[in-house]
Amino acid sequence: MGVIVTNHDFTHGELDPLLYARSDLQLYNKSAQKIENLVVMPGGSVGSRFGTTFVKNHTANPDPVYKLFGWKTSNAAYLIVVDQSTFEVYITSDFSTSTSINHSFSPDKVKGAQNQNEFIICSQEAQPIIISLDASNNVTHNYFTFSNPPTYEFDVNYNDSVFTLSEVTITPPDATSSSYPTLTIETMGSFGGFTANFVGGKFSSLGPSTGDQIGVAVITEYVSSTEVKVRIDNEFAAITPAPATGPKGRFNGNQSNLTETAYNSTRGWPACVTFYQNRLIFAGGDHLPQSLFMSVIGDFTNFDTGSGLDSDAIAFTIGSSQNEKILNLVSSRSLQVFTDTSEFATNIWSSGALTPSNVELRLQTSNGSKNVTPAILDNQTVYVKKGGKAIMAFGNNDSSTGYISSDISIMSSHLIQNPRTLYAYTENDAYDSNMLFCINFDRSLVIYQSMSEQNVSAWTQIKRENTLWDDVAFVDGDVYFIVTETRGTSQFGYGYTHIEKLSWDITLDKAYQKTISTSTSSQTVSMDNVFNKAVNDVVSFVAVDENDQQIYIGDFTVDSSNNVEIPPLNVSGDYYFGYKFKQKLQTMPAHIVSQAGDTLYTKKRISKIYVHYYNSMTFTVNGKQIPMRRLDNTTVTSGESSFMYTYTSTGVFETPSITLGWSHTTYVTCEQNDPLPINILGIAVELTT
């Protein structure tokens, strides 16, 4: 008898091939060479992944870029699909209608944030758009406009300039704009002059005496490069003695401050957006890559910094020796700011709200990130490290006074290929584990499963032929994907994009439900242009019985009329057509460590294989169908046809004595090639050396 070597669990997922020689690692026998179309369950078993159901064809657009947002209002849930030119807003209870909104954004650069029934979308390329509901609960939109815009001192070359004001007293509330005072550049000096971008900006200045108060005026109208209209909010120092005619105030540039609107069509627009402590926050952009602007508390269009009261707006620029570029904002236990070179955060244990007097962003780690929206998973912020080769978790340090970044993909780094999307799925109603969807640059999909209580930290692959995963979003309990077909060359073929919904109830992708009546002869069933007739798509036909068990009837070809001919059925009801996917588990090479050394590189052979399974249907072990027997009598019969499946329930399968031959690498491969469930609790081999 040989030695029994066991894989009790697969809690660490698929191992990077560069680590195959590291048999000294504790996680070596808790990993696998391949975990494809399987997920790691609590406890460490592997089971069938989710399937997807067909929702709606979206568009035919070769090689598109898409972004999805989930939007939940007080009375409905919506899926926002961002493509190259439009926002398509679908109500998820009825995808038959949608609202189209034109835009000028690049889908891969848009950021979104929700507050109450409004959803704000921004990109540094164009003015932010706010999507909301009108009085009749219809979707509507407007450009986001500021009641008081954030401002910034872009042009500082006015120290040798001289400014004058036609009036210096506070402008009455009932004054008309035509009667507002005039701010004039009396001596231009090195200054470039006014532009339309100064409208909304501010002019402030001391008088000629150091004891004079600081006057403040808001620029309300552009007249010329030397003249603007202003509304005076704080009185300015007057010329003494008062002149009989001419300006009432004169101010030197070196005692003045002059700002433009921070965001406009010339300077660009904010790169990212979030809500934090009842403030709307915009940040970044082409001309303000290190700046953040936080609204007045509860007044999201008002970015007036006022006199610095606790509720006033906040303007903050990261002080760094590097040319930081803000890419993402995350509202968590503190405000987190991710740049292309570093990670910053406000005080994690602050007992009060952010105010103009206490705002501070401290450097936490210096990894840098990509412009991919981070996700919140296991109370940590997960982001893509600069370079696109690692997924980092940004969480509390040991003293809980700040943050550290740790690499959660280091053991499966071969699966991380410059990701374009991260999305956390924490409302998993199938089993108690959190999941992170990661869509790579090549539009392949991998998932990370996490459950710290059971030591689960596992990456696995989602494999699906002829499909590109474009994006994923969650709303109102459901996960939606937008995917692009790469089969065929015509409509509903290559380049055609559609929406699918995650489902744990069916082991098919793009599952399309049809209600079919009984028949004693074959039937023709329309696929309603869901599948690709141009390339004779092959779809699997599946029934679900009264015990929610799947019955695999067979594979059928979609003909040129977009129909499928199915055999007779004597049970009417709902059936599913869709794409099946191969489910594969390949263990790490079995080896023994003894006093003589490690057998990883020596020849050995497997004489027996033990597979502990649970609620599984017939699958193969090392390419051979396992000799299980049906444990119940479930059948679907119709006429002369009988479709039966083998339901293996729970147990341990033991191969008879076998001779697999001597090899340097000995491993077990379990595969489910049909659209049926599989759940492997553990695998052991009897190894002869």
In tens, the pLDDT along 107-138 reads 999 999 999 999 999 999 999 999 999 999 99
Residue with tokens 């020849």: 603
**215 lies in the same domain as 106:** no
Q: How many domains does the chain have?
A: 4
Quick one: which of 479, 482, 415 has its CA closest to 447? 415
Instruction: CATH number of the domain at 221, please.
Output: 2.40.10
The answer as to whether 200 is a domain residue is yes
**644 lies in the same domain as 614:** yes
**528 lies in the same domain as 544:** yes
In tens, the pLDDT along 138-178 reads 999 999 999 999 999 999 999 999 999 999 999 999 999 99
Q: Are strands 434-439 and 445-451 parallel, antiparallel or unpaired?
A: antiparallel
Could you tell me the maximum CA-CA distance found in the chain, to the nearest angstrom? 114
**601 lies in the same domain as 567:** no
Q: Are strands 550-557 and 538-544 parallel, antiparallel or unpaired?
A: antiparallel
Cβ(119)–Cβ(132) below 8 Å = yes
The answer as to whether 495 is a domain residue is no
Q: What is the average pLDDT score of the chain? A: 89
Instruction: CATH number of the domain at 633, please.
Output: 2.60.120
Rounded Cα distance between 78 and 98, Å, is 10
**411 lies in the same domain as 285:** yes
Judge whether residue 640 has pLDDT over 50: no
**460 lies in the same domain as 418:** yes
The answer as to whether 502 is a domain residue is no
Residues 6+ apart with CB under 8 A from 164: 183, 184, 186, 246, 247, 249, 250, 251
In tens, the pLDDT along 54-99 reads 999 887 565 567 999 999 999 999 999 999 889 999 999 989 889 9
Instruction: CATH number of the domain at 361, please.
Output: 2.130.10.10
The answer as to whether 460 is a domain residue is yes
In tens, the pLDDT along 430-448 reads 888 899 999 999 999 999 9
**528 lies in the same domain as 626:** no
**294 lies in the same domain as 430:** yes
**332 lies in the same domain as 474:** yes
Q: Which two tokens stand for residue 529?
A: 């242009």
**254 lies in the same domain as 268:** no
**248 lies in the same domain as 296:** no
The pLDDT assigned to 207 comes to: 77
Expressed as residue numbers, the domain containing 202 is: 151-261
In tens, the pLDDT along 445-481 reads 999 999 988 889 999 999 999 899 999 999 999 999 9
Instruction: Name the band, by pLDDT with cuts 50, 70 and 90, for residue 641.
Output: very low
Judge whether residue 246 has pLDDT over 80: yes
Cα R_g (the chain), whole angstroms: 32
**180 lies in the same domain as 220:** yes
**Residue after which a domain boundary falls, among 523, 547, 579:** 579
